Structure 1
Amino acid sequence: MPPVSNRSNAIMDLADDQRFALMKFRRSVSDCLQPGQGDPYLLRWLKARNFDAVAAEKMLRESLQWRAKWDVDRLLTHWEPPLALKQFFPSGICGTDKDGVPIILVPFSGLDIWGLLHSVSKTDFIRMTAMTLEKYLQEAAENLKKAGSPSCAPTLIAVMDMENFSIKPYTWRPAGEVVLSLIHMYEANYPEILKACYIINAPSIFSVAFSIVRPFLHENTVQKIHIFSSNARKWKAALMENISTDQLPAHYGGTQVGINGDTKCTHKVHQGGKVPKNMYQKLEDLKDEIEGAWTSANVKKGDKLQLQYDVAEPGSYLKWEFRTEQHDIQFAVYRCSNDGSRQAVVEPRKVNCQDKNAPEIGVITCDDAPAKYVVEFDNSHSMLRTKKVHYQIVLAPPLTSADSLVDSLASIAVN
């Protein structure tokens, strides 16, 4: 069967204004397109910018500059990852869905972010992620070629296993910086490559973590993410809607089994794991790292600690992380009116986040602005004990102007 026409199939379902945007975009970037980068490729960038041809051109040209700076086109053939990344970077392709799209499995609990960032540079960690994406997209493109559709844009399916997920490692500032850098890299340079993402075995704390990173994700990406708890019946049913059982390891409801009954098929999917300390480039104490990035305060018995933040732009977001020593504390966030009254945005509640527990983490979008927001640690219910609180609170601009923040984090990672 001859391959499907590159152009006619790509624009079949487009509205007239979208067809016009595609035509305009195609003409404006004709000088930088490579062979095989037809309408399906161009539509990735247009969809990422809501069919604004000018914005899509800017996005594409900036991505080409990024690829040149990072030498992305030569990563698979000219870059040798450090040993720690080769041995402990978790992911792998286990099969394809019914349309031939590669299925990427990521056992997230195997990502030792602390160990890896003590063994390799942030630059190499980001480079490894880019190389892995390029490898998977290359395989997706080869599948399309075999299916007689070489002109179609390759896509991927991701299955992220969040079993045993802990948010604590990501309260360490370097880890947070890398996460933001990777999100920026993905959204800026790999638009519309995701067919679907299944996040399975997600604990309740994951919803808090996802709410923190969601503002940095394009809405098109968010719509393709499906989050499931540890209820295996539900997420297995969702996977099987478009994936045959022979394309999944037995651990995930399929029939694949590796050597000696290996239900996770570790010969296909690298599990990651704890990086041994003899691979560390430097040894530091985690607590010192965390304490150095946090502020500490004593909230006296019967007293309150109130922190005020002036929000200038609607859509800004307020993010907090905190923990206490030995005892709980009541926490709330209020929005203050000009007349002095205040309304609870986060209702007051007692929080038990002592040293041995994970920090309390949350984020809100400040839709009403300009306004004053107050973060309150309330110890007035205690008449006997002073509470020590360690906290980080960040007021960040709205997503439309947050790119500069993420660029800065990416720059820190590069340097």
Structure 2
Amino acid sequence: MNRNPLKTPSLQDDERFALMKFRRSVSDILKPEHDDHFLLRWLRARQWNPDNAEKMLRESMKWREKWNLDDLESWEAPAVFKDFIPHGSTGFDKDGSVVIFIPFSGIDIWGLLHSASKHDIIKNTIRVLERYMKLAYEQSKIHGPDARKFLVIFDMDNFSMKQYAYRPAAELVITAFQMYSNNYPEILKCCLIINAPKIFSFGFNIIKKFLDEYTLSKISIFKHNKHKWLPAILERVDASSLPVYFGGQQADKDGNPKCLEKICWGGKIPKQFYISEEDSYNNTSTYKTTVVKKGSKLKLHFEIEDSGVFLKWEFKTEIHDIKFGIRSVNQQTGEKVNEVALRRVPAHESEESGFITCHANHKYTVVFDNSYSYFKNKKLTYSVVVTRPLDEVEKSASKIEEKIFDQNENDISCEIKAE
């Protein structure tokens, strides 16, 4: 039965008063599609405190502007994202909500971080999420506001914690969860984590620190027992909307039960996508530490003669953020291009890393800008190098795995809450 998506939600008197106050306070930033149901997401996320909800929403609006979300579809993402970011949907649940499948073990986090910058990985995550948000909004026009929420199924089959021992990988996951928590409140209808191995609870105990109790109450974890998790799925989703692989009826035209036409399963990223972490084209791969004084800038110059090389950076600061950007000049035509837009980077919270592909006969200038700060010097530790792609960059990852995981995963004692 279709429900009226514009119907006013049923609220207690104090909740309705909080909604009225909240709407008045943020009226200057609202768009036509921001109805009561949209505003209630932020109020519920802040326990019906209009002032706290306003702060959260305004900060999120600034965040959306910073990431230029209105033009995300025009962004040309790194090619590696197309076939190696596992996710997809084969339909909707019984209430019209989008069902999202994430074959989590298909994420090659090490490969991703060596094939794209952390900034681009987060940006792509935002774009995927925004696409699902738009689909859910269209569903809500037919099935009502509850259809704006997602039912998410994480398949943890063959999951291993080993690659998350790589510090940038763990930081990336935490950054993604913080981004989600701060900017997409109350969009989760239900999360079913299936085929969870024993080691999964170790990682989940870390992640759940970034989730509130209400969100955690929507998460159900199932061990590797199809007889338990399949009924939980079928209770919410018709078999006709599920892949055969997950106990449903959908398959590709060629009979593939995994529905590869609708779900990307990811996998190990081919090494031709990698850039080097170990070999230096100009032999300047060591980290350096300096102080960028208040009101000043640090500029690093690189003259590139050959094509097919990368300008790669890693840096962090102490206590405060810093602006970072890269510009290039064509030494034949004099044309100037902002390769990486100058922006404030919270490098004191987590290490920033990334790379760009260089053009021949160009001069590149890397800028660490502290000119906006009148009172604070910034201690900066950085490595900026020009590198060539290598066939092998996994040696250091293997060393990390051997050092940290020197015992079989089955020997790690931990409990997992199972349905």
Matches of 1:6 and 1:26, distance apart in 2: 16
Q: Which residue of 1 aligns with 2:330?
A: none
| C-alpha contact (below 8 Å) 2:2/2:142 kept by paired residues | no
Letter in 2 for 1:126: I
Match of 1:246 in 2: 240
Q: Which residue of 2 aligns with 1:6?
A: 6
Evaluate the alpha carbon distance shift between residue 42 and residue 361 of structure 1 in structure 2; reply closer, same or farther with a 3 A threshold: farther
Q: Are residues 1:107 and 2:78 paired?
A: no
Q: Is the 8 A contact 1:168 1:359 kept in 2?
A: no
Q: Provide structure 1 residue ranges, at least 5 long, that are not aligned to the other structure.
A: 293-320, 325-352, 364-415
Residues 231 and 104 of structure 1, relative CA distance in 2, 3 Å threshold: same
CA contact (8 A) 1:323 1:360 kept: no
Q: CA deviation at 1:73?
A: 2.3
* 1:86 alignment partner, one of 82, 85, 104: 82
Contact 2:101 2:153 in 1 (8 A): yes
Contact map agreement 1:208 1:361 (CA 8 A) in 2: no
Q: What's the CA shift for 1:290? A: 8.2
Contact 2:96–2:147, Cα closer than 8 Å, also in 1: no
Show the counterpart of 2:225.
231
Residue number in structure 2 paired with 1:50: 47
Residue 152 to residue 230, structure 1, CA distance change in 2 (3 Å): closer
**1:6 aligned counterpart, secondary structure:** coil
Matches of 2:60 and 2:204 in 1, distance apart?
25
By how many angstroms is 1:207 displaced? Answer: 1.0
What is the match of residue 354 of structure 1?
Answer: 406
CA shift for structure 1 position 223: 0.9
- 1:268-317 deviations in whole A, cap 9, x for unaligned? 0011111001110224555646878xxxxxxxxxxxxxxxxxxxxxxxxx
**Other-structure match for 2:120:** 124
Change (3 A) 1:15 1:287: farther
CA distance in 1, matches of 2:166, 2:54: 36
3-state SS, counterpart of residue 254 of structure 2 = helix
Q: Does 1:144 align with 2:140?
A: yes
Matched, 1:61 2:21: no
Cα drift, residue 16 of structure 1 = 2.2
Residue among 168, 171, 178 paired with 1:177? 171
Check whether the contact 2:105–2:155 (CA below 8 A) recurs between aligned residues: yes
**What residue is the counterpart of 1:208 in the other structure?**
202
> Quick one: distance in 2 between partners of 1:228 and 1:261?
27
CA pair 135-5 structure 1, distance change in 2 beyond 3 A: closer
In structure 2, the residue corresponding to 1:261 is in which secondary structure?
coil
Amino acid at match of 1:354: D
Aligned equivalents of 1:93 and 1:47: distance in 2?
27
Partner of 1:16: 13
Cα separation, 2, equivalents of 1:142 and 1:58: 28
Count of residues paired in the alignment: 301
SS at match of 2:190: strand
How far the C-alpha of 1:94 sits from its partner, in A, is 1.1
Letter matched to residue 106 of structure 1:
I
Q: Secondary structure at the match of 1:204?
A: coil
CA contact (8 A) 1:90 1:269 kept: yes
Higher helix share: 1
**Residue 186 of structure 1 aligns to a residue in which SS?**
helix
Report how far residue 48 of structure 1 moved: 0.6
After superposition, the C-alpha distances for 1:21-72 in whole angstroms (9 at most, x for unaligned) are 1111111111111002111000000111111111100000000000000011
Query: CA 1:58–1:257 in 2, change beyond 3 Å: closer, same or farther?
Result: same
1:153 Cα deviation after fit? 7.0
Contact 2:19/2:50, CA 8 A, preserved across alignment: yes
- Secondary structure of the residue aligned to 2:160 is coil
> Whole-Å Cα distance in 1 between the matches of residues 399 and 251 of structure 2?
45
Q: Show structure 2 runs of 5+ residues with no match.
A: 279-392
Moved over 3 A (4+): 283-292, 321-324, 355-363
Q: 1:193 to 1:357 in 2, by over 3 A?
A: closer
Residue type at the aligned position of 1:113: I
Q: Percent identity?
A: 47
Q: For residues 355-404 of structure 1, what are the alpha-carbon distances to aligned partners after superposition, in whole Å with 9 as ceiling and x for unaligned? A: 676996989xxxxxxxxxxxxxxxxxxxxxxxxxxxxxxxxxxxxxxxxx
Residue in 2 that maps onto 1:30: 27
Inter-CA distance 289–164: structure 2 relative to 1 (3 Å threshold) = closer
Are the equivalent residues in 2 in contact too, given 1:7–1:39 (CA < 8 A)? no
Alignment partner of 1:261 out of 247, 255, 260: 255
**Residue of 180, 190, 193 corresponding to 2:187:** 193
Q: Secondary structure at the match of 1:34?
A: coil
What letter corresponds to residue 192 of structure 1 in structure 2? E
Shift of 1:7: 5.6
Alpha carbons 1:249, 1:265 under 8 Å: kept: yes
d(CA) in 1 for partners of 2:184 and 2:174? Answer: 15
Instruction: Quote the RMSD (CA, aligned, Å).
Output: 2.6
Measured against aligned partners, the alpha-carbon deviations of 1:195-237 in whole angstroms (never above 9, x if no partner) come to: 1111000001111110111111122211111110111011000
Deviation at 1:17, TM superposition (A): 1.9
Change in CA separation of 1:111 and 1:361 when aligned onto 2, cut-off 3 Å: farther
Structure 1 equivalent of residue 157 of structure 2: 163
Report how far residue 250 of structure 1 moved: 0.5
Relative to the length of structure 2, the TM-score reads: 0.67
Q: Distance in 2 between matches of 1:128 and 1:218?
A: 25
Partner of 1:260, secondary structure, is coil
Write the distance in 1 (CA, Å) between the matches of 2:178 and 2:85: 20
